[in-house]
Chains A and B, each alone.
Chain A
Amino acid sequence: MLQRIALGQVRFNLPGLVADARGVAAGRQTVARFAAIDRLVSFLRLLSAEQSLDDFQPGLRIVYARGGAGTREAIVILPATSTELGDVVAHAVRLAGGQAFTGAGKHFVQFRDARAPLGYDVTALHEGAGELVLYGAEQTVSYRIENELPLATLLLRLSLVRVSGQAPGFPEGSVYLTARRGLGAVVAGYLHRASARAPGPGVSEPALRAAAALCETPAASAFSSASTFWLFRIEHPPARLFGLLSKTPGLDLYLPVADNVLVAAGYRHPIHLETCRASFPADRLYLFSPGGVTEVTSLPRLAAIEDVIRIRAPAFESALRQEAAPIARPDLAVALRLEPSGSAGRPVAALVPWAQVAWLQRLLYALPPSALRSYRVALLGRGVLVRATEALDGLPFGALYELGAPDVLVPVGTRLRPAVSPQILSERLGATGGAMVLFPDRAAAPVRILSEAVGPLDERLLATLEPALANMESLGPQRRPLQDPVEIENDPLGPMPLWGLARPR
């Protein structure tokens, strides 16, 4: 029994029903009920024309449920983020000949209509068994869910519809072409010649470009081999090719509706596939044709058509006659050099050789907290590099370095020549994004230290500390974080499942 919701009413008997700012009561989910699968398909087509089905993911479920009277019906459960979205869904449901409900969990009440603009509530909850209870104006039906049909599966099962009254010709943008394996080389050569052909005088249409890949579909069974075909992507195809590409046996023309979804030219899918991108994994390619769906398990890597066509080797004589005369232009670039500068700058880093690391370890106990916090270290093959933010103090050993450019360390008393801009120097050496470049000495090549290798000194200097837990010995040695999910595993109940239970009073 339903009751109409009054304006300002905020308490409802149906769990999960809440009123929005307009006073319209709705739940977190919308349920659409259809008596037949064709109405369900009509609903999805109508809905996808107005609203992207991806907006309902995750959460969109299509289930077959059996009602109390034994009828088997198709039920769509959609998340409802707002009542406006619910209105769009309800409109599409009514157009398709179904019924819309709102609620959450297992209880759903009829969606608002002209008789109850603020929605419906129930007078009492249904006490019977069932995984889904739909409270309608005429009757309340509880459903037992029998199976679930994923949206992606439904999309792959539907047959294409022929488009009538469409003018022949290519749409704007790219088209795709499949060719049987034996035709691949011929088609590639043809497309290459077509792309190389210069447009006529006064023609300003963009040039044809093509790319190709060899695709393989998984074997249908263990006794059959996998089928292989060529896939061509043709950009800006001229209209003169349409008849050839669409009518030649062995060639099938496809139009893209999404990045990885293609539909045969002259046909359309019953549902607007461009709104269902989430149902098609991005690493697969789907080709919808009247004969079924071809699923390419890994996204093909298309190669330029110039690289695919067969190359004929030049004749031996002509190759001999060619003279190899490499002509190189003089390069202006010069090598970067370290030169004595005559004056010592302020040291900002020190490289402590591994032989002196024991000294450094002893010194760490004496360094003040500010130094420990501000110094950063990197462990290199030559030793430990200690880098200060401004000035390095308190390290009486190791090789000292100053800044030759931002984040470019050079030995104290040297400079980099030629004297290019420090910013350009840092950029060319790769001393950006937290990385540093170290010139160990005048003879050694510079090394680049990535930002991941540099860490605060106070974090690096402590060994791993794992204090023992107190008073836990009695609980045994095995301790595992409580991260595993708790999953129901129904064991067989045997022939007498209620053995040992008391008889009902």
Chain B
Amino acid sequence: MPRSFVSQFLLPLCRGGALHVGRPLGERAVARLLALAATGGPTDGAGIVPDPFLALAAARRELAARYLPTLAAPPLDEVTVRLGAALHNLLALGHPDLAGPSLARRQARIAESALALAAAAPPLSARETVNRHSLLARLPEIVRVDSTVRFWIGRQTFVGQTPPRRVTALPALRRVRVDRTRRSWLREIGIPAVGRRAFLALNAASPLGEALDPLRLDPPIGWGRILPILRFPGIARVVAGGALEIGVDPAGDALAGALYRFAGFHDPPFGMPASSDAVGFALTFLAHLVWLDVLFGGRRDPARADRAEPSVGTGLELAVVLTAAARTRPSLVWPGDVPEAGDLGRAFRARLDTMAARAETGAASQLAAATAIAEFALAPAGRPLAL
């Protein structure tokens, strides 16, 4: 089991290919794999590490190099194995063989095991952040192909399974037609409600994927989960760069909307709780995005020129939050070493004025709530905020 789990699940998860989802993994199976990984991987008779473990390390290093180019190949440590097993169990929640009268009970049991496996503290360094993310970086790319085989006397549906050859045999004689539907697991199929807590725990343990995808709809991005890694400067730059790629206005809107939930203690109980320092840091990060846009946003990437222009309302949430923060305490959005009289300062001031005008005309009623968030960021004891 351990070796096939590496070669048929962890390796395709990083390198691409068929992601084999089988029987959900329990603590005992994970312990066996951990024991194997602790020895540096299995060896054959000559003491050579076999191919899947090397290939997995190479693929993870290639993924990690996108964020930290000098990083060595990530090790297959305990947290990595547990996160991989947790994801496997989450994927197993949609396995067609579980269908039956006791489906809900079975799913609850699998989700509980996934939650236990995914329960890990946030990463303690940028290196650890990227190491964990290297396993889950391609999670948004996971797709499921559902096939419906129609033939002369009926049809059969195969969920995430390749139709066997006996079903598609004699295609002309039996008038076989195969309809394939390809759907993204994360965006279109979605996490079953019973596995939602486990998925949030997975994101809390490896938050970089969530931080790089602020526009995710369900579950939406949560500051409590991504803040622990934003305090690493290298990771914060990567996340800010990702937000700039998406566009400061749409990404900023999503992050600003998440700030209401975070400051109002409406986020699920995963990740760090809201405090004045955390909310203040989030506000400065949002302002940092706008600073980057003022500095570098004038050049439109020709590769993105064919994309649709954002709608009229895009950027309003960000404008409201930053306007309230700038009015409450300018230092929340303005670094101390940038003079207002310089070219850069004047450009940022003009941007703030534009945002303030938008906020006044488009969402004056929200300014009070956003001001409460900014005041909460300045409160000494971080008293709870009623939103």
Is A480 within 8 A of B23, CB to CB? no
In the complex, chain B residues whose CB is within 8 Å of the CB of A484 = 15-17
A484 nearest CB neighbor, chain B only: B16
- The docked-state distance in angstroms from the alpha carbon of A104 to that of B220 is 12
Can you list, as one digit per residue, whether each of A319-348 has a CB less than 8 Å from chain B (1) or not (0)?
Answer: 000000000000000000000000000000
Can you list, as one digit per residue, whether each of B24-62 has a CB less than 8 Å from chain A (1) or not (0)?
Answer: 111111000000000000000000000100110111011
- The docked-state distance in angstroms from the alpha carbon of A114 to that of B58 is 59
B140 nearest CB neighbor, chain A only: A486
The winner among A221, A484, A498 for most chain B CB atoms within 10 A is A498
In the complex, chain B residues whose CB is within 8 Å of the CB of A221 = 172-173, 175
In the complex, chain B residues whose CB is within 8 Å of the CB of A8 = 363-366
The winner among A16, A219, A485 for most chain B CB atoms within 10 A is A485
B365 nearest CB neighbor, chain A only: A8
B183 to chain A, nearest CB (A): 10
Is B27 within 8 A of A488, CB to CB? no
Given the known inter-chain contacts A487-B19, A501-B109, please indicate yes or no for A492 contacting B97, CB distance below 8 A.
yes
16 contacts between A and B (CB under 8 A): A8-B364, A11-B260, A126-B193, A130-B193, A147-B148, A478-B51, A485-B141, A486-B142, A487-B19, A489-B19, A489-B20, A489-B162, A490-B159, A490-B160, A491-B22, A503-B109
Given the known inter-chain contacts A105-B187, A475-B58, please indicate yes or no for A488 contacting B17, CB distance below 8 A.
no
Can you list, as one digit per residue, whether each of B170-190 has a CB less than 8 Å from chain A (1) or not (0)?
Answer: 001101000101000101111
Is A486 within 8 A of B58, CB to CB? no
- The docked-state distance in angstroms from the alpha carbon of A352 to that of B219 is 67
- The docked-state distance in angstroms from the alpha carbon of A122 to that of B61 is 44
User: Is A497 part of the binding interface, using a Cβ–Cβ cutoff of 8 Å?
Assistant: yes
Q: Which chain A residues numbered 76 to 130 have a C-beta less than 8 Å away from chain B?
A: 104-107, 126-130
User: Is B21 part of the binding interface, using a Cβ–Cβ cutoff of 8 Å?
Assistant: yes
A18 nearest CB neighbor, chain B only: B313
B320 nearest CB neighbor, chain A only: A10
Is B21 within 8 A of A494, CB to CB? no
In the complex, chain A residues whose CB is within 8 Å of the CB of B109 = 498, 501, 503-504
User: Is B218 part of the binding interface, using a Cβ–Cβ cutoff of 8 Å?
Assistant: yes
Is B73 within 8 A of A474, CB to CB? yes
Q: Which chain A residues numbered 124 to 149 have a C-beta less than 8 Å away from chain B?
A: 126-131, 147-148
Is A478 within 8 A of B55, CB to CB? yes
Is B142 within 8 A of A488, CB to CB? yes
- The docked-state distance in angstroms from the alpha carbon of A271 to that of B362 is 42
A462 to chain B, nearest CB (A): 25
Report the contact-size class of chain A (Cβ under 8 Å from the partner).
Answer: 35 or more
Given the known inter-chain contacts A497-B106, A499-B23, please indicate yes or no for A106 contacting B190, CB distance below 8 A.
yes
A181 to chain B, nearest CB (A): 23
In the complex, chain B residues whose CB is within 8 Å of the CB of A128 = 193
User: Is A369 part of the binding interface, using a Cβ–Cβ cutoff of 8 Å?
Assistant: no
List chain B positions with a Cβ less than 8 A from chain A.
Answer: 12-29, 51, 54-55, 57-59, 61-63, 73, 91, 95-98, 103-104, 106-110, 112-113, 116, 138, 141-145, 148, 157, 159-162, 172-173, 175, 179, 181, 185, 187-190, 192-194, 217-220, 257, 260, 311-313, 316-317, 362-366
A240 to chain B, nearest CB (A): 44
B94 to chain A, nearest CB (A): 8
User: Which of B179, B185, B312, B363 interacts with A10 by CB under 8 Å?
Assistant: B363
- The docked-state distance in angstroms from the alpha carbon of A219 to that of B189 is 38
Given the known inter-chain contacts A482-B15, A489-B20, please indicate yes or no for A15 contacting B218, CB distance below 8 A.
yes
- The docked-state distance in angstroms from the alpha carbon of A483 to that of B138 is 11
In the complex, chain A residues whose CB is within 8 Å of the CB of B366 = 8, 10
Can you list, as one digit per residue, whether each of A1-34 has a CB less than 8 Å from chain B (1) or not (0)?
Answer: 0000000101100011011110000000000000
B366 nearest CB neighbor, chain A only: A10
- The docked-state distance in angstroms from the alpha carbon of A493 to that of B110 is 13
Is A476 within 8 A of B58, CB to CB? yes
Is A487 within 8 A of B24, CB to CB? no
Given the known inter-chain contacts A16-B218, A21-B313, please indicate yes or no for A147 contacting B113, CB distance below 8 A.
no
Given the known inter-chain contacts A107-B218, A129-B104, A492-B97, please indicate yes or no for A487 contacting B20, CB distance below 8 A.
no
Can you list, as one digit per residue, whether each of A278-313 has a CB less than 8 Å from chain B (1) or not (0)?
Answer: 000000000000000000000000000000000000
B119 to chain A, nearest CB (A): 13
Given contacts A16-B217, A487-B143, 15 further A-B contacts (CB under 8 A): A10-B366, A11-B260, A106-B190, A128-B193, A129-B107, A221-B173, A482-B15, A484-B17, A486-B13, A487-B19, A493-B23, A502-B26, A504-B109, A504-B112, A505-B112
- The docked-state distance in angstroms from the alpha carbon of A505 to that of B109 is 9
